[in-house]
A = this chain, B = another copy of it.
Amino acid sequence: MTTEAEPHSPHRYHWVVTLSCTDGPGIVHAVSGAIVASRGNITESQQFASDDTGRFFMRVQVESTAGRDEFEAALAPVVERWGMELHLDEVGRPLRTLVLASTAGHCVNDLLFRHHAGQLPIEVPLVLSNHGTLRDLVDFYGVPFESAPVTSPETKAEFERRILAAVDEHDIELVVLARYMQILSPELCEALAGRCINIHHSFLPGFKGANPYRQAHARGVKLIGATAHFVTSDLDEGPIIEQNVVRVDHSRSVAELVAIGQDEESRTLSQAVKWFAERRVLLDGQRTVIFR
């Protein structure tokens, strides 16, 4: 993708630009001007002005013969003029993703199968787990797997250091908690802020804490669900990325609710990871902007 363009068939890049700034008139015109100046053609564009925070958000895909340096140079005055946070990337570049897991395999299987099938633009240099249960599954997909027990404050601290080391080593862009059943320390939450996604096995803000399916059964709810959200130190309260529900009835036991819910967990988490990897997820205070 980054090879030198030949004279007679210039390489066409496919860029994805995401940006946010304080809202005001003229932003779109300024950005599109930089795109035109870079001989770009817009293939997809979405924008949103938040009434809550006064921020403007934009995601635009651009085909162009301009390389990164040229495109960045064209965008630079716009970024400066509007005080933008802007990110430039190539469409489809696999996001370096660290997966954390425990014993349940359904989310890990769903992520790795989709990745394997070419449906998730990620690369997974490592799956880390506090149990060895999923080694064979992860091995099958050719992904390195490491496990270490977390049974005490000391082993927990050690495991978290291992996470941070892996993030550094592999230049990780996204950490996915694929039913990782340990609560992250506030320090780790802070270190991974905005790049760590959890799947919660409930329709938040429905049932928080432990055993949400047991709570759902006791309450007799008619729909159960799953929520993918950013991890913050405020447990189960991070910005929501995606939610799904499925209908159940009185005849379902807690065990059946668990089994039924796992489908929603898998697809909800994979969907959130896909959108994040495609740079469709932006943060707007405690809310997310999803450019589907």
Question: Chain A interface (Cβ within 8 Å of chain B)?
Answer: 24-29, 32-33, 35-36, 39-51, 105-106, 109, 113, 117, 119, 136-137, 140, 203-207, 218-223, 225, 239-245, 247, 249-251, 253, 259, 263, 267, 284, 286-290, 292
User: Chain B residues with Cβ under 8 A from A40's Cβ?
Assistant: 25
Q: Is the CB of A119 within 8 A of B245?
A: no
Partner of A250, one of B25, B36, B288: B288
User: Chain B residues with Cβ under 8 A from A223's Cβ?
Assistant: 203, 225, 243-245
User: Chain B residues with Cβ under 8 A from A220's Cβ?
Assistant: 239-240, 284, 286-288
A51 to B257, CA, bound (A): 15
**This chain's copy number in the assembly:** 4
A109 to B46, CA, bound (A): 35
Partner of A289, one of B43, B203, B250: B250
A56 to B203, CA, bound (A): 30
Also in contact, A48 and B251, with CB within 8 A (given A36-B26, A218-B286, A220-B287)? yes
Tell me the smallest distance from the CB of A133 to a CB of chain B, in Å.
Answer: 12
Taking each of A28, A113, A218, A245, which has the highest tally of chain B beta carbons within 10 Å of its own beta carbon? A28
A25 to B222, CA, bound (A): 29
Q: Is the CB of B119 within 8 A of A259?
A: yes
Q: Is the CB of A117 within 8 A of B140?
A: no
Partner of A287, one of B32, B137, B240, B250: B250
Beta-carbon nearest neighbor of A208 in chain B: B205
Q: Is the CB of B29 within 8 A of A35?
A: yes
Q: Is the CB of A49 within 8 A of B39?
A: no
A249 to B250, CA, bound (A): 18
